[in-house]
Structure 1
């Protein structure tokens, strides 16, 4: 059996993978450790052209080779900051109003994919299988094919896949879909995402889709599937319990002075519905005055893509909303919203979630949202918190025992918060048991092993 070659925009360091509680890094790293192989992608560094052209930096960790390259400033601006995150990301999250398109950035996107593929070719052996991750690398297989690579190549999309009428807003949409058809297997987070891709193939690409999800288009045959990414719930539960006595967690618990805690953890991103979430909490305090002074909302939102204008704007809006709501409802000894624009260790976040009575996870659109699954896993089964979850998160299709809300319905979210805060212990335990059973049945290992087995069979 050949090795696994994993390709992602950003390669986590060996230290980062060992310290991660779940998600893409753990899924890739655990598969690589089992099979042996290479993890290839961007190091996260912006470097000179001389350094970028020097070839991948290789670091061996057991059976895993970490192979990374730097990007020049032009490549970073066009490929990463430009087309990937100013065009694909907003459109794939149904935010055409925030999307821009520049031909030069799209040309840079394809150029960098071809350049990355050329860097990887020398590391690929005949029996290897290649697993490519996410929207940054849609043309990657096409570039590998042009280099003569005939290995099996699979692609997994971690974001939503938009309906055709949304995707058509990207001018080179047909080129992107044609590039996707160069893979042997396409994996999506949800049935709706795969259906949207099939819809495009049949309506706009002149292709066909079989009942089993096999696609014929642009002279290629490929397989599609739904693979719901998960977590290792028992590992998260043990870690959350183990870190309950850490100083910062104890300080949080002491500072609450007996108040109930609503907890949210998100990247600072306009797709997460953070402003709507703040306003739902404000409406809770307005319409249920008995909770004033008796509940605190902690929103952890570490900065991301700080050099993209739309992200600067969302940070400013959130700071304004937090200040406005706190100014309205704070007391001398009470601050209703604690908005933390900083990073915390994953183990610490899980222990903070364990202390909370409500997990508030309400993205406007999300591929899966592993925070929802991590929140469930981190709970104390004898006294669990309640998850309030957006219907537009991929996780909503699995976590049916959460309180499912529409993130555009401020009043509905406010009512769900009140219900969660008041829910009896027995109902909370029943809901937690149902959700934990789902997490164990579809954990991260199942996602990884099912995808790779299907790729080998493709």
Structure 2
């Protein structure tokens, strides 16, 4: 019997003591449960020696197969080539790239080990869906081991323009690897176009038609599949958690003040320094907002083993303290900066309580926080989304207040516009954005991709 096989760098193993956090993980789990399937990848554990066989777990109709990484693999593959080379380049930040040859060797080594362990688990009729930038060589590795299955790849992050990409050592090999898939999925049409241009210029691929390239006697299809969210589930969750004691204590502390909220991983691509400076500009340029507005910025710890992330955390803590010191009062701290991870339900309740959602990354493939914020709002009195125009979500959420994330004065003006927006306009904007989210929810994303991978192109 044919199955769906999902492959990702990290596998979210079921844990009865911790609900599954991400909507994306829930969607993939649902697809695997319906179709019967296997989820393969890294367990999150480190070991002294490379694994020869995976650990297996069966739960709720899904087979999980995971392997640990060695410390060298973690350093060279994960921290190194994936996150110190590919991540910054694909987010248009060449200055943050830290290339070392051993990183590229580690990236190749781990992808080859994934293929060695995964290949024997694959049946002849299985459909394979590989996720994200950690695993771009995996289709080639599987093909070299004799697999002829349909293999799809979805890139969750942006794809850079060719003149940016070509600064990355090894970019031609990665383009060759991506051409070994049957279907490549991107968040936006700009990302797809950037890939197609890079493939034609760097490795001589031919564009046969819209969404179809030919390279080395193989056809490769490409498509645009913006990731969505589970709209009704988020709306219900936010309404339920709004009344929890933790959220109510926050609201009691706010009093009549307006809450702005930002929720991000601690990452230089998220534009957090510019966001705090923009809030400072709001307080400076619109003094009537002083004492009446609070920015809560949650920055979940991320990749703390990379020095640049630790330095960013120090700068953000210093900047928030500086702004609070200048503008704060005995009964009002302008910024509540929290460097920790919170329960998903609590965050949804905070979204619903907020007057403004602030989502201003410098570059982002999609940014589901923007969509989650919209889905979490009370339709009778919705908050307003201030959104970077350099996110994939900006192409869909055109009723958000869109800003250039590098222009702190423009962000400040957008924040003030959001706070001043009349209720009828807030409702109109929210209704239109909700219609988009419902049409392109997480289930539609998964179904469209898998239909296209199976040859039923929409």
Q: How does 1:285-364 map to 2 (within 5 A)?
A: 285-364=283-362
Provide the residue aligned with 1:72 in structure 2.
Answer: 70
Alpha carbons of 1:307 and 1:14: their partners in 2 closer, same or farther (altered >3 Å)?
same
Q: 1:265·1:371 contact (CA, 8 Å) conserved in 2?
A: yes
CA apart distance, 1:16: 8.1
CA distance in 1, matches of 2:140, 2:255: 58
CA distance in 1, matches of 2:3, 2:29: 13
Provide the residue aligned with 2:238 in structure 1.
Answer: 240
Q: 1:216·1:222 contact (CA, 8 Å) conserved in 2?
A: yes
Q: 1:17·1:25 contact (CA, 8 Å) conserved in 2?
A: no
Q: How does 1:255-266 map to 2 (within 5 A)?
A: 255-266=253-264
CA distance in 1, matches of 2:135, 2:47: 20
| Matching residue within 385, 390, 393 for 1:395 | 393
CA distance in 1, matches of 2:105, 2:217: 24
Q: 2:182·2:220 contact (CA, 8 Å) conserved in 1?
A: yes
Residues 1:3 and 2:10 aligned together = no
User: Normalising to structure 2: TM-score of the pair?
Assistant: 0.98
Q: 1:22·1:232 contact (CA, 8 Å) conserved in 2?
A: no
What SS does the aligned partner of 2:265 have? coil
CA distance in 1, matches of 2:164, 2:27: 30
Q: 2:14·2:20 contact (CA, 8 Å) conserved in 1?
A: no
Segments ≥4 residues shifted beyond 6 Å:
none
Q: Unpaired runs of 5+ in structure 2?
A: none
CA RMSD of aligned residues (A): 1.3
CA apart distance, 1:245: 1.4
Provide the residue aligned with 2:282 in structure 1.
Answer: 284
Q: Count residues in correspondence.
A: 456
CA distance in 2, matches of 1:356, 1:323: 22
CA apart distance, 1:18: 8.1
CA apart distance, 1:220: 2.5
CA distance in 2, matches of 1:193, 1:228: 11
CA apart distance, 1:104: 1.0
User: Normalising to structure 1: TM-score of the pair?
Assistant: 0.98
Q: 1:129·1:151 contact (CA, 8 Å) conserved in 2?
A: yes
Q: 2:384·2:418 contact (CA, 8 Å) conserved in 1?
A: yes
Provide the residue aligned with 1:435 in structure 2.
Answer: 433
Provide the residue aligned with 1:155 in structure 2.
Answer: 153
Q: Deviations over 1:94-114 (max 9, x none)?
A: 000000111111011001000
Alpha carbons of 1:409 and 1:272: their partners in 2 closer, same or farther (altered >3 Å)?
same
Provide the residue aligned with 2:381 in structure 1.
Answer: 383
Q: Deviations over 1:112-161 (max 9, x none)?
A: 00001111111111110000000000000011011111100000000000
Alpha carbons of 1:259 and 1:338: their partners in 2 closer, same or farther (altered >3 Å)?
same
Provide the residue aligned with 1:127 in structure 2.
Answer: 125
CA distance in 1, matches of 2:52, 2:145: 19
CA distance in 2, matches of 1:19, 1:209: 44
Alpha carbons of 1:443 and 1:124: their partners in 2 closer, same or farther (altered >3 Å)?
same
Residues 1:29 and 2:15 aligned together = no
CA distance in 2, matches of 1:304, 1:18: 19
